[in-house]
Chain A
Amino acid sequence: MNHRITQAFDVCIVGGGIVGTALAASLSSSPFTAHLKVALVEAGNLYSEPEIRPASFSNRVASVTPASMRLLNRIGAWDRIPADRKKAYTQMKVWDASGNGAIAFNAPMTHSASSIGWIIENDWLKSSLAQSLSSSVTVFNSSVVAGIESPAGSGSDWPVISVNSDKGNGPTIQLKSRLLVGADGVNSLVRKYAGIESIGWDYPQKAVAATLEIEGVEGNRNDVAYQRFLPTGPIALLPLAENKSSLVWSASPAIAAKLLSLSAEDFAIFVDVAFRNPIEDLTYLLSRIQPDGSLPKDLDLKAEAVWGQTRLETANTFKIGVPPSNTSLPRVVGVAEKSRAAFPLRFYLSDRYVSDHRVALVGDAAHTVHPLAGQGLNLGLLDVATLTNVIEEGVQAGADIGNIHTLQGYAAERFAPNLGMMMAIDSIGKLFRAESDPVVWARSFGLNLVNTLPGFKNLAMKAASTL
């Protein structure tokens, strides 16, 4: 028989991912909210160890903006990430494979930080945040939410969350909370409980991630992020260390499957082709991949790749598919073992972020975006910063922080900017998938225009990195 104990909390956060743990840490580190009793419920292991072997990196990484860095710093988590696990990048080069649009961003333009951002493994972000939790946070580790109910009859409207420890096999514990925060991702249970609808779609794309070995980096600094838009989706190279970079290549599920089936050496060459060759080369070579992942014996992959790259550089009057000037793309020389994987890509938006039944949603539970702009996690951390602020002000006014009047302040501040960013990211994605000439020409023109006008570029950089 289950022994039911009901514990009362001020804030119950369901979901111990980066965003949920950041919220718990943020509340526990602010003097105004440190006294609040916080519960953090995580189905997996909140304390899982991140990779510590030097030069060995997980394939799930995030680009962290200066605004997110400030939040992590305030929480005390930033310094818990070792220096060699957070790679600053000071330039970003973006260009179009099908047109000649190209744009380069440099860090000093942002005025607010010396870097555009940092590339950090997700595991390290989570771990540093988990270590920053103070004793005011009760962690329900490896605990699965069995159900959430509004208790009827008593008049109290505090939601009751039933949780089973030990990955769901343990006894049921009941928590009741003044404020219930859904940080439980795109399939949020809390969102369903609140009756908040989520609208959106799964992109007809997957993101292929891998950790790559690179060489030929200018000055060995590897502080430049690269992204090339292909019609099938963008491919991005994010620096991790002197000779290691993280790959995020968005492509159709069919292409993704083919890429995963290739041998490591062939995969490395395909990545190079995707960055350096005319777009027709990639299409052709992809079509030659056989069902078992091998290539026909008569195909010399390396030679094809080199020939194509030469063509791009020399026989290319209109500079189609050429990166911005002064770009020295690193060469991919290897793929870390077992680091290749494909992840689904989605666009989902919740129609509300808060409900008048003491619920607030943060992170992916509220909004899910395409990774092409590196914004997803950062939007979630901005949610955390705003919600913390709103709760702090509520505490200072002696308010019931689960009350809709308090929570509305959070929704009012985050809904529109998040939506704006989501629409922009989605639009950029659509724009660069198009292959018709007028569209390609227009977007090339647009990109190049923005590249040459410092005022526009400043604005764009500011918006993307200091949100």
Chain B
Amino acid sequence: MLISFQAASRHVSRRMAVPLVSQAVKFSVSAGAYSSVNADEVAKFAAASHEWWDPKGQFGMLHMMNPVRMKYIRDVFLKYSPAAGADPNVARPLEGKKVLDVGCGGGLLSESLRRLGATVTGIDASSENVAMATHHASLDPMLQENLAYRSITVENLLQEVGASHFDMVCSLEVIEHVNNQDVFIQNCMDLVKPEGLAVFSTINRTPTSYLLTILMAEHVLRWVPPGTHDHSTYVTPSELESFVRAAERSPHHPANCSLDIVDTRGIAYLPLENKWQVLDSSTVASKFPFGGDLDMNYVMTVVKRPFKESDAKPAETDIGAATMGLQRESLSGL
């Protein structure tokens, strides 16, 4: 079933890509410098805050996805951060690193980051979520230190602690719930130290994702409550890339750094095995013969890379460039 959706959507997305993308471009350009917080979205999640940690609750899918996301974060951190080359076989590879979890919700990701050794700040616009996260963390002796939650927006945090503060900024499955997505990305990138990383994940805006995340997941299978997702706010990889590029023009962005997108890949749910999996090229070939591995959830890693004297502006070497080629060619005049 999944395969035939992919096949059909590939066909459809070529023709639909242009109108969708230009719609999105108009949306972001006119947004201006408002806050990224979307009050309705915040309220929606705040109402569900007590369900965050129920393994059978509405966030069950996120729980299942978490180990996969964590493994990815661990892998890219070891590969791209200054600690790269360090022994990958340590239990706490993030020891001593300052990490920000933007849109932390009930603390699902923050707790995992803390257990890998990081000094974690989790922020969420909803104070109910922050209360839930704080309470849940208090139940685990391993989480008593170096983990703090705050109910604050990312722009206010930036004003408070200043730019270039964190070794890594993560914002997973959040951007589709905020207004002014370009400003949001800019604020996140500003908070990253030079040589640090940002990891973003979201859902691509494609017919496939409408079919699966809205029609199937919300209405037919009821894996999440209807209204959890709004298809128009999904972000395509090229839009996300453009937000990242735009962030280089932020007043807080250091002149001697560039923002390099080093990795973009899909995260798929395999229904027959009831698990999530980060896709790489070998998986794409075997499980999704019709391609389109970025059609649904995907994750993108950005490095704030200081120029070396010998560098010209580095060319893109990422996987994302090749696979996004299809969508890129339908973009014009961005």
With both chains docked as a complex, state the minimum distance between the C-beta of A157 and any C-beta of chain B, in angstroms.
8
A394 to B116, CA, bound (A): 11
Cβ contact within 8 Å between B89 and A397: no
Quick check: B89 and A398 within 8 Å, CB to CB?
no
Q: Which residues of A contact B139 (CB under 8 A)?
A: 154-158
Contact: B64 with A405, CB < 8 Å? yes
- Asked if A35 lies at the interface with its beta carbon under 8 angstroms from chain B, I say yes
Given A32-B89, A405-B64, also A398-B111 (CB < 8 A): yes
Residues of chain B within 8 A of A34, CB atoms compared? 91
Is B112 close to A, CB under 8 A?
A: yes
Please give me the residue from chain A that is nearest to B136 by CB atom.
A155
B63 touches A398 (CB 8 A): no
Task: Flag A368-410 by CB within 8 Å of B: 1 or 0 each.
Answer: 0000000000000000000000000111111110011110000
Q: Which residues of A are found within 8 Å of B92, using beta-carbon distances?
A: 35
A-facing residues in B48-97 (Cβ within 8 Å): 55, 63-64, 66-68, 70-71, 74, 89-92
- Rounded to whole angstroms, the CA-CA distance of A155 and B111 in the bound complex is 17
How distant is A284 from chain B, measured CB to nearest CB, in Å? 59
Q: Report yes or no: B91 in contact with A35, Cβ–Cβ below 8 A.
A: yes
- Report the separation of the CA atoms of residues A248 and B175 in the bound assembly, to the nearest whole angstrom: 66
Does any Cβ of B come within 8 Å of A420's Cβ? Answer: no
* Chain A residue at smallest Cβ distance from B64: A405
B141 CB to closest chain A CB (Å) equals 5
Chain A-chain B contacts (Cβ-Cβ < 8 Å), number: 56
A155-B66 in contact (CB<8A): no
Q: Distance in Å from the Cβ of B194 to the closest Cβ of chain A?
A: 26
Count how many chain B residues have C-beta atoms less than 8 Å from C-beta atoms of the other chain: 24
Partner of B63, one of A31, A393, A405: A405
Q: Is the CB of A398 within 8 A of B116?
A: yes
> Contact partner of B66 among A158, A356, A393, A397, CB < 8 A?
A397
| A312: Cβ under 8 A from any B Cβ | no
Q: Across the interface, do A31 and B70 meet the contact criterion of CB distance under 8 Å? A: no
Bound-state CA distance A406–B55 (Å) is 11
- Is B115 a contact partner of A31 (Cβ separation < 8 A)? no
Q: Is A8 an interface residue (CB 8 A)?
A: yes
Give residues 115-159 of B contacting A (CB, 8 Å).
115-116, 135, 139-142
A356 and B55: CB pair below 8 A?
Answer: yes
Known contacts A156-B139, A400-B111, A403-B55; A395/B91 CB under 8 A:
yes
Task: Determine if B90 and A31 form an interchain contact, defined as CB atoms under 8 angstroms apart.
Answer: yes
| A399/B112 contact (C-beta < 8 A), A33-B91, A155-B135, A405-B63 known | yes
Max chain B Cβ within 10 angstroms of own Cβ: one of A154, A155, A396, A404: A396
Q: Beyond A32-B89, A156-B139, is A399–B71 a contact (Cβ under 8 Å)?
A: no
Please name all residues of chain A whose beta carbon is closer than 8 Å to the beta carbon of B64 when the two chains form the complex. Answer: 405
Cβ of A399 and Cβ of B140 under 8 Å apart?
no
A216 to B260, CA, bound (A): 76
| Smallest Cβ-Cβ distance to B70: which chain A residue | A397
Least CB distance from B154 to A in Å reads: 22
- Give every chain B residue within 8 A of A35 (Cβ-Cβ): 91-92
Is B91 within 8 A of A393, CB to CB?
Answer: no
Question: Which residue of chain A lies nearest to B113 when distances are taken between CB atoms in the complex?
Answer: A398
B304 within 8 A of A: no
Does B265 touch A at the CB level, under 8 Å?
Answer: no
A31 touches B91 (CB 8 A): yes
Shortest distance between the CB of B227 and any CB in chain A (Å): 26
A315, B122: Cα distance in complex, Å: 85
Residue B114 at the A interface, CB < 8 A? yes
Report chain A residues within 8 Å CB of B74.
Answer: 396-397
Distance between Cα atoms of A396 and B67 in the complex (Å): 8
Task: Take A8-B141, A404-B55, A405-B55 as given contacts and tell me if A397 and B91 are in contact as well, using a CB distance cutoff of 8 Å.
Answer: no
Contacts of A33 in B (CB 8 A): 91
Most chain B beta-carbon neighbours within 10 Å: one of A10, A33, A356, A400 = A400
Residues in A with CB closer than 8 Å to B112 are 397-399
Q: Which residues of A sit under 8 angstroms from B135, Cβ to Cβ?
A: 155
Pairwise interchain contact B67-A393, C-beta atoms closer than 8 A: yes
State the CA gap A400–B113 with chains docked (Å).
Answer: 11
Residues of A within 8 A of B142 (CB): 10
Is A396's CB under 8 angstroms from B71's CB?
A: yes
**Bound Cα distance A394, B140 (Å):** 16
Q: How far is the CA of A157 from the CA of B142 in the complex (A)?
A: 14
CA distance A33 to B115 in the complex (A): 12
Most buried by A among B55, B91, B113: B91
Q: Could you say which residues of chain A place their CB within 8 Å of the CB of B140?
A: 178, 400
Residues of A within 8 A of B63 (CB): 405
- Interfacial residues, chain A to chain B (CB-CB below 8 A): 8, 10, 31-35, 154-158, 178, 356, 393-400, 403-406
Chain B residues at the A interface, C-beta cutoff of 8 Å: 55, 63-64, 66-68, 70-71, 74, 89-92, 111-116, 135, 139-142
Q: List 24 A-B contacts (CB under 8 A).
A: A31-B91, A32-B89, A34-B91, A35-B92, A154-B139, A155-B135, A156-B139, A393-B67, A396-B70, A396-B71, A396-B74, A397-B71, A397-B112, A398-B113, A398-B114, A399-B66, A399-B70, A399-B115, A400-B111, A400-B115, A400-B140, A403-B55, A405-B63, A405-B67
4 smallest beta-carbon distances between A and B, as pairs: A398-B112, A397-B67, A398-B115, A397-B70
